Amino acid sequence: MSLFLIVALPFIGALLPGLMNSAGRTACASVTFTVTLAALVGLLTNLPSVLAGEVVMARIDWIPSLGLNFTLMLDGLGFFFAALILGIGLLIIAYARGYLARRDNMGEFFTYLLLFQGAMVGIVLSDNILLLLVFWELTSLSSFLLIGYWKHLPEGRQGARMALTVTGMGGLAMIAGMLILGQIVGSYDLSVILENREMIQDSPLYVPALLLILLGCFTKSAQFPFHFWLPHAMAAPTPVSAYLHSATMVKAGIFLMARMWPVLSGTPEWFVIVTTAGLLTMTLGAVIALFKHDLKALLAFSTVSHLGLITMLLGTGTAFGAMAAIFHILNHATFKAALFMSAGIIDHEAHTRDIRRLGGLRHLMPVTFVIATVAALSMAGIPLLNGFLSKEMMLEEATHTVLFNAPWLVPGLATFASLFSAAYSFRLITHVFLGKIRDDYPAKPHDPGAGLWLPPAILVVPVIVIGIAPFLAEPLVKLVTYDVLGGAAEVPKAYFKIWHGLVPALFMSIIAVFGGLILLMAYRPALRIWDGAPRPEAKEIFEAIIAAAVAFARQVILSVHNGSFSRYSAIAAVTILALGYHAWTTGTLGAATRDMQPTSPVAIAGWVMLVAATGGLVFLHRNRLLALILIGIVGLMVSVGFVFFSAPDLAMTQFTVEVVTIILLLLALNFLPKTTPIESTVLLRVRDAAVAIAGGLAAMALSWHYLLRDTIAPSISEFHLANSYKGGGGTNVVNVILVDFRGFDTYGEIIVLGIAALLIYALTETLLSGPVRARLLNRVPTEPVAGNMHPMMMVVLTRVIMPVVLMVGFYIFFRGHNEPGGGFIAGLIVSIAVVMQYMASGFSWASARLRYPYHGVIGAGVLVAGLTGIGSWFVSKPFLTTDFTYVRIPPFNEFELATALLFDLGVFLSVVGAVMLSLESFSRLARTAYTKDSEYPMDIDPSREDDPPEGAPAKEGV
């Protein structure tokens, strides 16, 4: 089966458990099981090639320019891990079916599990390190979901967060490390990287890359000092612990160290860092595990310890060490997963995992007793079980490893850790299963159904088989070791056997086992010493660090982000000014290439009006109505300026936009206070004025120098002028650019405009459905209302003028391609025509005659424009390619038909819809404020005659 399919199967399959949820728990588990089985079978079809020593590859270029390709690779190492992930996955799924309670959402659980499984398989099969990183982060995320699966438990949520923080940070570090590695080699393909050992190790960037990658590996594989998250992750349901935290995810870091072994190992840095971390983790984990009373915590720390053991073996950098590591990965996965499942069974049946409350279970749960005992003895390193073999190899390797010039250090600590390892294994057996039957179990323990005990029982089979006949595992381990070494070293000749003669490792083993027994006998005094000893609590340190980070972030953010908009604006303005000043002083100014154009009295008159209106606006802005008039003058003068400087389209647009903007602001001013009070001190105003004047001078200087110089590169405008008629079929170049050359831009812009209008609509809806509604209804108009709600002159005039304005709009629209005009301007003109009806005849009257809702008009506009663009696909052209032709219908002159016109229709509709929806939303607020206005527009408001105007709650139309 294709490697792509093997990786994709769990991801695709992740959709199924959710769908099968209502079909029942067994169906849900079965479909998950089937998906995993299919992936496993697919993996096994590649076994012959792997056995033949080939590397199976599959490749799709994804983003080749970034070196990111979807490349998968299957060699012995990848096969070994993938088989472990999928094989143990099968057992876990079967076990989880029996383990999860009826109230647990099984579909959710299995979806997460399959996501995790897919991500893990992705890691071990990736050939591209960037792809590997993607999968790596996916395992962090999916394990977060799995650890926090029991959302109602605070421990679960905290554990999940902690795991995500630690592994996620490690993942970030690893991304940096991998990128450095890719930079050194010049390729992100693992197969290429693995062949460049010298290039990488000679690079000055080797040490940073190594440190960052190891940070990722150590956090993931819970190495000291990042080991603390693993025990807290034990709040997860036991199937998760058994799967993620013994067999798979925590081995991802180890996998990566093994994968990178040929290029990263063998240097003093690697040796010191990895071996030391492994040795410390192994020792610390073993010691802490012995004193844990929670069965799963004991197993968690023992896992930490065994991961340390494997890390240490990889750290030695010898071929024998690597082989021992691989062998121990296999052995540990079998006995530890079996132990976790047994712990889960005990928890499930006895309703407690506290070792102090257990004991004597061998009579009550004989099957579980046998399984757990075999697995625990293997963990202790008892002969004829697989744990013994790899532990012997570890001890053997330890005797040859010299760290910090102290020959006794590594063997001594290894023996010490093995001693504790034997002790906690024995403790698990004695304190849980042996002893007298108690009568105070929280529930009556008994052996569970086969669904729960069969999966661990299956795992115990290889524990015994490999333990008795190690030569069975030898070819597999050597095959994998060959791929780990990657030609950097020869696969060791050593045979796997139980009896190696009277070697030092044997004596160390004997010391460890008997020492462990003695330690267990002295457990009570040892526990008292342990409990009395002061030791740092990792969780508290972690939380203190997080709290410090949060406090720091809060301090930084609150000092600049204090809720004062004026401050942000001032900071932004000053920063932009400072940057501009820096650019000005450090850059060079070329000579002016353009001559000043002569000015004219008309231009000066316009300038004076603009300046006067702006100045007036600044000084008189406290009177808001006056300010509105003044800003209208400014907009008008800008429009006139556009006319003056040969931009008729712009002038028309600016002018019409000005009209709707003023109407909009008037509608808003209806509610807002009519004046702005004086609040800021004179000093503050002087400061603001200084900033403003500096900004104005800067903008002026920039414009001034810019206007006198030609652009450095030739402008692309010539192209547009030359091709407007030939290619776009229109003589109004601005319009052709809008609907043709840069049609995609325009398409995006009408969508933005539509979204803005919908946003306004949504805000209005929110306001009207909240407490604001009551306030609006109780509001009394501050200004005297007009007596004549709908002045007859205005009503008549607007209705008469409506068809004329519409015709002007359509005329402007149709001529747009060749003369000033087009969809934007026509849309604004038509909007104004409609707004006039609202203003003159009232909201109800106009709304009643509204045939299409404005949302629909916006949607239709975007749709028309989009479909026009898609239309060009049917003639195998890119999106939004226009076509045009000239037709002649006898009585008329020849005229042009272009698909761009359809696109412009879309623009037109969007603009009408967006403008009208915005204004209508504002009016709706106003309408709610007063009593209902009349259905008859030309009425006279009688309340005006009865009551004096001041304070009368009278009617008003909008």
Partner 1 sequence: MEFLVASAIGILTAGGIYLLLRLRTFPVILGISLLTYAVNVFLFASGRLTIGASPILIKGVETYTDPLPQALVLTAIVISFGMTAVIVMIALGAFLGSNDDHVDDQPEDDAPRAEDAT
Residues 709-748 that bind partner 1 (CB under 8 A): 715-717, 720-721, 724-725, 731-734, 737-738, 742, 745-746
Residue 806 makes CB contacts below 8 A (sequence gap 6+) with: 830, 833
Cβ(342)–Cβ(414) below 8 Å: no
Closest distance of CB 796 from partner 1, Å: 30
Distance CA 763, CA 150 (A): 37
Distance CA 482, CA 492 (A): 9
From the centroid of its chain, how far is CA 357? 44
Closest distance of CB 481 from partner 1, Å: 55
Instruction: Using DSSP bridges, classify how beta strands 68-74 and 56-63 pair: parallel, antiparallel or unpaired.
Output: antiparallel
Q: Kindly write out the interface string for residues 291-320 of this chain, putting x where it contacts partner 1 by CB under 8 A and - elsewhere.
A: ------------------------------
Closest distance of CB 707 from partner 1, Å: 4
Distance CA 930, CA 956 (A): 7
The reply on whether position 706 binds partner 1 by CB under 8 A is yes
Beta bridge partners of 73: 57
* 3-state secondary structure at position 13: helix
From the centroid of its chain, how far is CA 930? 47
Question: What are the C-alpha distances in Å from 29 to residues 98, 113, 182, 353, 450?
Answer: 10, 11, 41, 26, 15
The reply on whether position 627 binds partner 1 by CB under 8 A is yes
Closest distance of CB 482 from partner 1, Å: 58
Residues 431-450 that bind partner 1 (CB under 8 A): none
Closer of 667 and 806 to partner 1 (Cβ) = 667
Closest distance of CB 148 from partner 1, Å: 24
Residue type, 119: A
The reply on whether position 918 binds partner 1 by CB under 8 A is yes
Closer of 688 and 896 to partner 1 (Cβ) = 688
Closest distance of CB 931 from partner 1, Å: 19
Distance CA 505, CA 6 (A): 41
DSSP state of 678: -
Distance CA 411, CA 506 (A): 12
Residues 123-162 that bind partner 1 (CB under 8 A): none
* 102-105 long-range Cβ contacts below 8 angstroms, 24+ apart: 102/25, 104/149, 104/150, 104/237, 105/21
The reply on whether position 894 binds partner 1 by CB under 8 A is no
Residues 518-557 that bind partner 1 (CB under 8 A): 554
Residue 848 makes CB contacts below 8 A (sequence gap 6+) with: 935
Residues 629-688 that bind partner 1 (CB under 8 A): 631, 634-635, 638, 641-642, 644-650, 653-654, 657, 660-661, 664-665, 668-669, 671-673, 676-677, 679-680, 688
Closer of 359 and 616 to partner 1 (Cβ) = 616
Closest distance of CB 700 from partner 1, Å: 3
Closer of 774 and 875 to partner 1 (Cβ) = 774
Nearest Cα residue to 648 out of 857, 508, 822: 822
The reply on whether position 579 binds partner 1 by CB under 8 A is no
The string of DSSP letters for 367-409 reads HHHHHHHHHHHHHHT-TTSHHHHHHHHHHHHHHT--BTTBTTH
Beta bridge partners of 786: none
Phi then psi dihedrals of residue 895, to 5 deg: -135, 170
Distance CA 168, CA 54 (A): 34
Closer of 717 and 931 to partner 1 (Cβ) = 717
Provide the terminal-to-terminal Cα distance of the chain, rounded to the nearest Å. 71
Residues 593-612 that bind partner 1 (CB under 8 A): 594, 596-600, 603-604, 607, 610-611
Instruction: Using DSSP bridges, classify how beta strands 895-898 and 884-887 pair: parallel, antiparallel or unpaired.
Output: antiparallel
Cβ(288)–Cβ(427) below 8 Å: no
Cβ(171)–Cβ(216) below 8 Å: yes
Size of the site for partner 1 (CB under 8 A): 119
Cβ(252)–Cβ(220) below 8 Å: yes
Among 601, 771, 878, 891, interactor with partner 1 by CB under 8 A: 771
Distance CA 138, CA 830 (A): 53
The reply on whether position 832 binds partner 1 by CB under 8 A is no
Closer of 65 and 893 to partner 1 (Cβ) = 893
The reply on whether position 26 binds partner 1 by CB under 8 A is no
Closer of 777 and 850 to partner 1 (Cβ) = 777
The reply on whether position 923 binds partner 1 by CB under 8 A is no
Closest distance of CB 552 from partner 1, Å: 14
Closest distance of CB 957 from partner 1, Å: 20
Residue 280 makes CB contacts below 8 A (sequence gap 6+) with: 224, 308
Distance CA 454, CA 471 (A): 26
Options 73-81, 108-116, 341-349, 626-634: segment touching partner 1 (CB under 8 A) = 626-634
Q: Kindly write out the interface string for residues 233-272 of this chain, putting x where it contacts partner 1 by CB under 8 A and - elsewhere.
A: ----------------------------------------
Among 618, 793, 804, 807, interactor with partner 1 by CB under 8 A: 618
Among 579, 763, 777, 807, interactor with partner 1 by CB under 8 A: 763
Options 473-481, 785-793, 806-814, 911-919: segment touching partner 1 (CB under 8 A) = 911-919
Options 33-41, 393-401, 501-509, 912-920: segment touching partner 1 (CB under 8 A) = 912-920
3-state SS track over 610-655: HHHHHHHHHHHCCEHHHHHHHHHHHHHHHHHHHHHCCCHHHHHHHH
Among 497, 528, 582, 775, interactor with partner 1 by CB under 8 A: 775
Distance CA 388, CA 396 (A): 12
Residues 791-820 that bind partner 1 (CB under 8 A): 818-820
Closer of 645 and 852 to partner 1 (Cβ) = 645
Closer of 7 and 739 to partner 1 (Cβ) = 739
Closer of 498 and 763 to partner 1 (Cβ) = 763
Closer of 708 and 794 to partner 1 (Cβ) = 708
DSSP state of 565: H
Closest distance of CB 36 from partner 1, Å: 45
Using a 10 angstrom Cβ sphere, with 0-12 exposed, 13-18 middle and 19 or more buried, the burial of residue 745 is: exposed
The reply on whether position 939 binds partner 1 by CB under 8 A is no
Cβ(901)–Cβ(815) below 8 Å: no
Closest distance of CB 762 from partner 1, Å: 10
Cβ(342)–Cβ(374) below 8 Å: no
Closest distance of CB 454 from partner 1, Å: 51
Closer of 385 and 652 to partner 1 (Cβ) = 652
Closest distance of CB 684 from partner 1, Å: 9
Residues 550-569 that bind partner 1 (CB under 8 A): 554, 562-567, 569
Question: Which single residue is written with the structure tokens 């063998």?
Answer: 266
Closer of 519 and 631 to partner 1 (Cβ) = 631
Closest distance of CB 846 from partner 1, Å: 19
Token pair, residue 318, equals 């010898």
Options 239-247, 291-299, 355-363, 692-700: segment touching partner 1 (CB under 8 A) = 692-700
Nearest Cα residue to 420 out of 569, 281, 322: 281
The reply on whether position 911 binds partner 1 by CB under 8 A is yes
Closer of 156 and 820 to partner 1 (Cβ) = 820
